[in-house]
Structure 1
Amino acid sequence: MMETSLMGNKTGTCDSILDAIGNTPMVRLPRDFDPEIKCEVLLKLDYMNPGGSMKDRIALHMVRQAEKRGELKPGGRIVECSSGNTGAGLCIVAAALGYDITIVIPDKMSSEKISALRALGADVVVTPCNVDIEDPMHYTKVAGRIADETPGSWWPDQYHNSDNTDAHYYTTGPEIWEQAGGKIDYFVAGAGTGGTISGIARYLKEQDPNITIVGVDPPGSILAHFWKTGEICESGPYAVEGVGEEEVPRAWDPSVIDDYKVIADSDSFAMARKLASSTGMFPGGSGGMNMAAVLEVARGLPADARVVTLLPDYGKAYLSKVYSVDWLRDCGYLPQVPAATATVADLVHENNRARVYDDETLAWAIRQAGERGVRPLAIIARDGEGLLGILDEDKAIGVLSQGSDLEMLKAGDFVTTSPAVLELDQPWKDAVDALASHEAVLVKMEDGGFATFSRQDLMQGLKRLSH
């Protein structure tokens, strides 16, 4: 048991990053967020933990308990399977306490999460997400195997670790109860490992048994179905990260849950974006899922009722997914465009553009082509004459190979003939025809710049059309 019910030291100077975990703020939802909502809605911003998610709490508690039991010793290695957030929390704890760490993560998780794990010092193993839970390449199986084969290692196994649940019973639950002034009618939260909702619900129900606990699940997860029927159904795909499961985790206690909502990925992402743009609260997709379920609950409640939920992780970890219009369109989470009226503008990706003038350095041009992947890269005349051509990559590679000072060379001296150039208002089939003879073409944008449009972009973009 933890020595105190609350974590964190937010009023003074922390001696360690670990002291900054917990005591996250609770914010009241603006009354005008949804005109149909009459009751009060409170959101606990647990993405304001140091690692950007509520999983910092369980990372610290699981490690400390493992140390007490002698399962994790000085010089040891932490090995865990994670959708990214627990991994980041464990990385922070490992760095602060001097442990090595390996994180196994499925490849459906955002590139931001994977990059963050590496930045925090983890050895990262990426596994395929579209495998059965019994497959030896499933990320839980890979983590267990690495732990078994690594001397001095410790596997938290968060999905089946009671310390996961206890972390929220001893910290998050008491914080919520105190911040809400002891008045809560509904608590709404999603479940992945199940530790969050189970630990918080257990604590809250001990304070007031009349509190209604509502779980939230994405379609494709088995948890809501199991809670309702006691039967394990076949799992399916879903895109929201950090919630949902394909097996029943032992950290999850369905007996403390009173109701379950299932929220579609598209609704979760739309709600996350709405929260960010209209309130300044910046959640990931799971926070959007929680909030969408909250609105379903709250629309039938009187003005004196109070609903509490969590925003578990930070939206900055999902800029390439939840907060990318291109990704949402390509994955079908935004309405499709009728093929009969679609144009090139409906297929082009916003991030595939760059503006490089002929008098800018070759170093700058190569950064746009290399680091950002804008290829072919249009070179534009500064004097207003428009497109000169594209970066001559063969010539640029030649001077790179010679060790030339790229800051002393001008992009305008490294130009070759441009492939076809399309206008935004051309029929989309013109792009298909143009790419029949080119790997990529250019698209002239409204601001006078140019975007690149490749065969890969076309294959992604065509999914945006309805026939």
Structure 2
Amino acid sequence: MNPNKRVYDNILQTIGNTPLVKLNKIVADLPCTVYAKVETFNPGNSIKDRMALKMLEVAEKEGKIKPGGTIIEGTSGNTGMGLALAAIIKGYRCIFTTTDKQSKEKVDILKAVGAEVIVCPTNVEPEDPRSYYSVSKRLAKEIPNSWYVNQYDNLANRQAHYEQTGPEIWDQTEGKVTHLVVAAGTGGTIVGTGKYLKEQNPNVQVWAIDTYGSLLKKWFDTGELDMSEVHPYISEGFGEDFLPENYIKDAIDHFEKVTDKDGAVMARRISKEEGIFVGYSAGSVIAGLKQMKDKLKPEDVVVVIFHDHGSRYVGKIYNDEWMLDRGFLEVKTVRDLVGGLGTRRLVTIDQDSKVSDAMELMKKYDIEQIPVMSSGDITGTVTQTGLFRRLMEDIEVKDALVADVQEKELPVVEMDTAVERLSHYINKDNGAVLTKDESGQFHILTKYDILTAFSKG
């Protein structure tokens, strides 16, 4: 791509020459200068556009795919997006296999650009016939004029970054880069970019970010492929349960592991503090860099790769309910608790309804207390405990009006109330509180909601 060109013949010509942006608030505790290579500026919103196009061009040159053929690949979404864009321009069909841990947004985006997507189970061995590796290989054998991309072992993957990403970083930093930090998956980005930078200056340090559940760090440190290291993890787009052929040890100086939680939380911080809407791996890269801050000096110039866009993760790391459910959000206030409830509707009942109606609502929604309404205002509460006591005294009370049996109103607390203060309101006689958000909508918080939030923290 020519960065000075104003008009392009097709979208593929816009791949590359992404900006290098100085980070400020998020790295204020680090002694060095940190720049982010923001790969979301690629047309498919990720760094994978580079290698997707390169691998396809090499395959065409080598005669591995003919006009009208089918591209088949196992992909978490970003490589698929790059391949799908190339396929649109070049006239190919795409079939992608992916895992059920990937975000729904990634799958939907692939379908939006014309790809066929097959979702496979995550928690199986790579050799298992159900794995997304195995399914893609099988389809490539069964479908005529098809090409199995195999980004993990396809050396055009790292070639793309050796020819593009590395030279761009060297040029943009005027040769001053001292460290490259990359979330490592297929190995293409870190090896290709790292190899080029080290050829320009052998002192450049290349640090790989891995996740717990991946075997890459253990392999790098010991040379051993230890399957006991492998277990399910939530982080997306990096980490592996096998060793791709794109890896060259000499191109990398260190591997650092980052937890699922730290990566997710940091991605949200980057978006809020730097105004760069990033994906999971970007959060993990910054979290890993901070873990290694003692290795850095004031004169260092660090370049981190921001692989993909936050839009891929709006249903996951940018969803409070998803984060709270996994214990990734620190619950401090009532607002945090409400955010973790998602779109749960507050169930109420009119005071002129029958007690039997209240009993049906409790059964239907599996709830223990219901606010009582009159002319749009909350006037009291009916509770499971209170109704049980009255029914034991008089079974006919089920035909009475709610107004005749309602108890006092639930306490109403401010959204910014500290969670610890809820103990003043919730006790053995009162199992919930109400809070009102800025739009005037009421939300109920029960003992169960609070216990659940803290059990996952």
Q: Which residue of 1 is the match for residue 329 of structure 2?
A: 334
Deviation at 1:347, TM superposition (A): 7.4
- Distance change (3 Å), C-alpha of 1:298 and 1:181: farther
Distance 1:345 1:35 in 2: 26
Q: Is the 8 A contact 1:329 1:464 kept in 2?
A: no
Gapped runs of 5+ residues in structure 1? Answer: 1-6, 356-373, 388-416, 435-442
Deviations 1:401-421 (A, max 9, x none): xxxxxxxxxxxxxxxx9xxx9
Counterpart selection for 2:80 from 80, 87, 93: 87
Q: Which residue of 1 is the match for residue 441 of structure 2?
A: 449
1:301 counterpart letter in structure 2: L
Deviations 1:168-189 (A, max 9, x none): 1111111111111111111111
Matched, 1:352 2:352: no
- Distance change (3 Å), C-alpha of 1:40 and 1:452: same
Q: Is the 8 A contact 1:352 1:453 kept in 2?
A: no
Q: Which residue of 2 is the match for residue 156 of structure 1?
A: 149
**Larger Cα Rg: Structure 1 or Structure 2?**
2
Deviations 1:294-341 (A, max 9, x none): 22334443322111110000111111111122111111223479xxxx
Matched, 1:465 2:450: no
Distance 2:92 2:59 in 1: 13
Deviation at 1:427, TM superposition (A): 5.1
Distance 2:191 2:293 in 1: 21
Counterpart selection for 2:91 from 88, 98, 105: 98
Report matched runs for 1:401-416 at 5 Å: none
Counterpart selection for 1:169 from 123, 141, 162: 162
2:289 counterpart letter in structure 1: V
Q: Is the 8 A contact 2:436 2:443 kept in 1?
A: no
Counterpart selection for 1:309 from 304, 307, 323: 304
- Distance change (3 Å), C-alpha of 1:91 and 1:329: same
1:29 counterpart letter in structure 2: L
Query: What TM-score do you get using the length of structure 1 for normalisation?
Result: 0.76
**Comparing 123-132 and 8-17, the one that deviates more:** 8-17
Distance 1:56 1:430 in 2: 59
Q: Is the 8 A contact 1:79 1:102 kept in 2?
A: yes
Q: Is the 8 A contact 1:348 1:453 kept in 2?
A: no
**Comparing 84-93 and 251-260, the one that deviates more:** 251-260
Distance 2:88 2:449 in 1: 42
Q: Which residue of 1 is the match for residue 397 of structure 2?
A: none
Distance 1:461 1:245 in 2: 35
Q: Which residue of 2 is the match for residue 110 of structure 1?
A: 103
Q: Which residue of 2 is the match for residue 21 of structure 1?
A: 15
Deviation at 1:281, TM superposition (A): 1.4
**Comparing 300-309 and 109-118, the one that deviates more:** 300-309
- Percent sequence identity over aligned pairs: 38
1:449 counterpart letter in structure 2: Q
SS of equivalent to 2:208: strand
Counterpart selection for 1:12 from 2, 6, 23: 6
- Distance change (3 Å), C-alpha of 1:293 and 1:348: closer
Q: Is the 8 A contact 1:177 1:183 kept in 2?
A: yes
Q: Is the 8 A contact 2:324 2:456 kept in 1?
A: no
- Distance change (3 Å), C-alpha of 1:343 and 1:282: closer
Deviation at 1:346, TM superposition (A): 3.8
Deviations 1:13-52 (A, max 9, x none): 111000111110001111x434432211111001211111
Query: What TM-score do you get using the length of structure 2 for normalisation?
Result: 0.78
Distance 1:253 1:221 in 2: 17
Distance 2:96 2:337 in 1: 38
SS of equivalent to 2:226: coil
Deviations 1:185-217 (A, max 9, x none): 111112110110000011111111111111110
Q: Which residue of 2 is the match for residue 193 of structure 1?
A: 186
Distance 2:315 2:410 in 1: 26
Deviation at 1:237, TM superposition (A): 1.7
